[in-house]
Chain A
Amino acid sequence: MTSSNKTKQECYVIKKDAVKAFLDSLSDYTLHAPVREDETILFKEIKNTDDIIYDFSNAVKAPKDVVMPQTETMLTITKGGKDSLVVEEPESPDKSVVFGIRPCDAKGIALLDQIFYEDKQDTYYVQRRENTTIIALACNDPHRNCFCTSVGGAPNGKAGCDLLFTDIGDAYFVEVVTSKGKKLITNKKLFKSISEADKKAKNAAHKEATRKLGDALDLKNFPEKLEKMFGEEFWEKYALKCIGCGACAYMCPTCYCFDINDIDYKDVVKRVRTWDSCQFGNYTMHTSGHNPRPNKVNRVRNRVLHKFKYHVDNYNEIKCVGCGRCTTHCPVNMNLKAIIKELAEKEL
């Protein structure tokens, strides 16, 4: 896990017109960066670094799929005879760099690490994660639905980052967060030493972005409060609106639930895993028909409680990075921040 090998703070500046040369020099890596496609900002595998865009609020989807693809083959099984089966694993993933990820989404990956590195390590995730270096771009123009500062994040948060870039006008201020990030700083002609003015410009940029986000919610005793709210009727109000489409989970940088299924091609079977969501009724349905979370109210409540209570119980951190995508993309205008605010301020 990269967060455990922090190096002493080391900083550089890189001129904006030198960034292309830097990214071009990373030819040993598969590069993922934001591009504009039909008015949409997406993270894509980059063939030509001219395609990369630098001036954007955030991508429509977090680049979570670099470490956790939406669909991946876990095993390929070749059937021989009656008791002959050959089970093969996929090849090791390529080394990759994600450039331009926002600190909220990088933190999302740090939160995924908690799940996939724990106990029995998820080898598929861990291999990808170990092979991925994350260059984040600090946020200087938050989206209207953003609330990272309410959930322990910041426009310049370093969780999950290996390098953190901040736009300071004609250059980027570069903070080296991990030794993995440091490995990318090889060309000192591109990465120059910083001045006091650079430092000031960086701090001013962070301060301005934080100001734009407005007041943070006070969620200090919120997890304990939520526990007491489990049986309350107001969950019904939120659930009534929900159509159970799962868009919130698919857009979420911290949602990680998955399904595993076999696809039978007669002689060859592929065991495939895909993203899943606790908002789907089938998610918890037993074969017998019994369902521990039979209604939308159970499922909507589970999603909120998982992020703001259950995960806090297990890992002492809120499992939401405040990117606001669930709100932006909800077809029935559910607003997570508004729900959290209402619950946090509710008298018990």
Chain B
Amino acid sequence: MKSNPYMPEIAVIDDIRQETVGPRAIKTFKVSFKDDRLQKGFAYKSGQTAMVSLFGKGESMFCITSSPTKKGYLEFSVMRMGKVTSALHELEEGDAIGVRGPYGNDFPLEQWKGKNLVFVGGGIGQAPLRSVYLNVLDNRDDYGDVSIIYGARTSKDLSYKEELFDFEKRPDVNLSLCLDWKFAKEGMLDEEAEEGWFKIDMKDPEKTKAPKGTTRFTGFVPQIVLVSKPKPKNTIAITCGPPIMIKYVVENLKKLGFSSDQIYTTLEMRMKCGIGKCGRCNIGSTYVCKDGPVFSLTELEKLPNEY
């Protein structure tokens, strides 16, 4: 059959990183195609997705969390949730999976050259943002200020920990990591690991006066946005995380003066084909698999609220 779009190519797992533990653990799989020519030919952009096959279990769509600036491999961060993801978590290095793609649109990084970028992520929502900021940091001179706000429940739930802790040392990245205020309050945090994380004023976050250079906070992600106060001028904000987090992040960004065309997100939908045929990922006449997953808030505001 010529150029069958449903044909997965065989890829091998080169490395598995345990990002977080627990019932909804996250692992990052580093994979490369068995056929070297396919690996070289797999040209993707930050924001795009790929369909991962675990033969016998099925296929699932994941964002590619690695940056296209790094050649020779792809990375997928997978939370253990359903049939395919749970089975993926059982795999070991050297195991074979299927990959097809890349699919969908990407973040308009070309247009954003010269602009300041603010990344606001929560939980597994950091996965698509990571491809973008790693890409930006590999082309650092093309962009203005880079801020990364990333939150998780506890320090054990932070993904990409070592990478992010390295960013704390970089003068050209403005990092704010945060742990869930609710958990801090209930004393559920690992006291030792969370020692020294700066507690923000949850009632009036804008009044929080953290010492200069503070990178570790306890508080909710939307409130940290108000503490970090990115300036909207010449700035793009990119956010991804649980729907409720996105809702309040957007609200707070608007409070700071961001307009809808300065806010971007990437959507998740149940998908089967990835190429706009199987029908299920539509929001009105837009198909997330091929017209998305990346949308500006201006674009989203025109669509029916079914996502």
Seen from chain A, the residues whose Cβ lies within 8 Å of a Cβ on chain B are: 74-75, 77, 79, 82-85, 87, 89, 92, 115-116, 118-124, 127, 230, 256-262, 264, 269, 271, 276, 278, 283-288, 290, 292-293, 298, 302, 305-306, 309-311, 313-314
What residues of B have a CB within 8 angstroms of the CB of A287 in the complex? 81-82, 85, 270
Which partner residue on chain A sits nearest B2 by CB separation?
A: A123
B201 to chain A, nearest CB (A): 31
Quick one: which of B7, B59, B95 contacts A87, CB cutoff 8 A?
A: B7
What residues of A have a CB within 8 angstroms of the CB of B284 in the complex? 305, 309-310, 313
| Contacting residues of chain B (259-307) with chain A, CB-CB under 8 angstroms | 268-270, 272-273, 275-285, 290, 304, 306-307
* Pair A284/B270 contact, Cβ less than 8 Å: yes
* Pair B280/A284 contact, Cβ less than 8 Å: yes
**14 A-B contacts (beta carbon < 8 Å):** A83-B95, A85-B10, A85-B55, A115-B277, A123-B5, A124-B1, A258-B279, A261-B58, A262-B55, A271-B6, A292-B283, A302-B282, A305-B284, A309-B285
Given known pairs A83-B94, A87-B7, A286-B268, the reply for A260 and B276 (CB within 8 Å) is no
Asked if B57 is an interface residue, CB under 8 A from chain A, the answer is: yes
4 interchain residue pairs of minimum CB distance: A257-B279, A264-B56, A310-B285, A287-B82
Given known pairs A87-B7, A287-B81, the reply for A313 and B285 (CB within 8 Å) is yes
In Å, the complex CA distance between A124 and B3 comes to 11
Q: A264-B57, A310-B282 are in contact. List 18 more A-B contacts (CB 8 A).
A: A83-B34, A85-B10, A85-B96, A115-B277, A121-B5, A123-B4, A258-B273, A260-B58, A260-B273, A261-B58, A262-B58, A269-B56, A278-B279, A284-B270, A284-B280, A287-B81, A298-B306, A310-B284
Total of A-B residue pairs, C-beta within 8 Å: 126
In Å, the complex CA distance between A314 and B290 comes to 13
In Å, the complex CA distance between A293 and B306 comes to 6
B107 to chain A, nearest CB (A): 21
What residues of A have a CB within 8 angstroms of the CB of B8 in the complex? 87
Which partner residue on chain B sits nearest A118 by CB separation?
A: B276
Which partner residue on chain B sits nearest A266 by CB separation?
A: B56
In Å, the complex CA distance between A101 and B269 comes to 37
Q: Is the interface of A mostly helix, strand, loop or mixed?
A: mixed
* Pair B96/A259 contact, Cβ less than 8 Å: no
Asked if B12 is an interface residue, CB under 8 A from chain A, the answer is: yes
* Pair A260/B278 contact, Cβ less than 8 Å: yes
A272 to chain B, nearest CB (A): 10
A283 to chain B, nearest CB (A): 5
What residues of B have a CB within 8 angstroms of the CB of A92 in the complex? 1
A40 to chain B, nearest CB (A): 28
Asked if B243 is an interface residue, CB under 8 A from chain A, the answer is: yes
What residues of B have a CB within 8 angstroms of the CB of A84 in the complex? 96
A222 to chain B, nearest CB (A): 15
| Contacting residues of chain B (71-116) with chain A, CB-CB under 8 angstroms | 81-82, 85, 94-96, 98
| Contacting residues of chain B (12-27) with chain A, CB-CB under 8 angstroms | 12
| Contacting residues of chain B (30-71) with chain A, CB-CB under 8 angstroms | 34, 55-59
Given known pairs A116-B277, A262-B56, A283-B280, the reply for A83 and B12 (CB within 8 Å) is yes
B56 to chain A, nearest CB (A): 4
In Å, the complex CA distance between A259 and B282 comes to 15
Which partner residue on chain A sits nearest B96 by CB separation?
A: A83
Given known pairs A82-B94, A284-B280, the reply for A123 and B85 (CB within 8 Å) is no
In Å, the complex CA distance between A75 and B7 comes to 8
What residues of A have a CB within 8 angstroms of the CB of B279 in the complex? 256-258, 276, 278
In Å, the complex CA distance between A89 and B85 comes to 25
A246 to chain B, nearest CB (A): 13
What residues of A have a CB within 8 angstroms of the CB of B56 in the complex? 77, 79, 262, 264, 269
In Å, the complex CA distance between A18 and B57 comes to 53
What residues of B have a CB within 8 angstroms of the CB of A257 in the complex? 278-280
B12 to chain A, nearest CB (A): 5
Given known pairs A87-B7, A290-B243, the reply for A276 and B278 (CB within 8 Å) is yes
What residues of A have a CB within 8 angstroms of the CB of B5 in the complex? 120-123
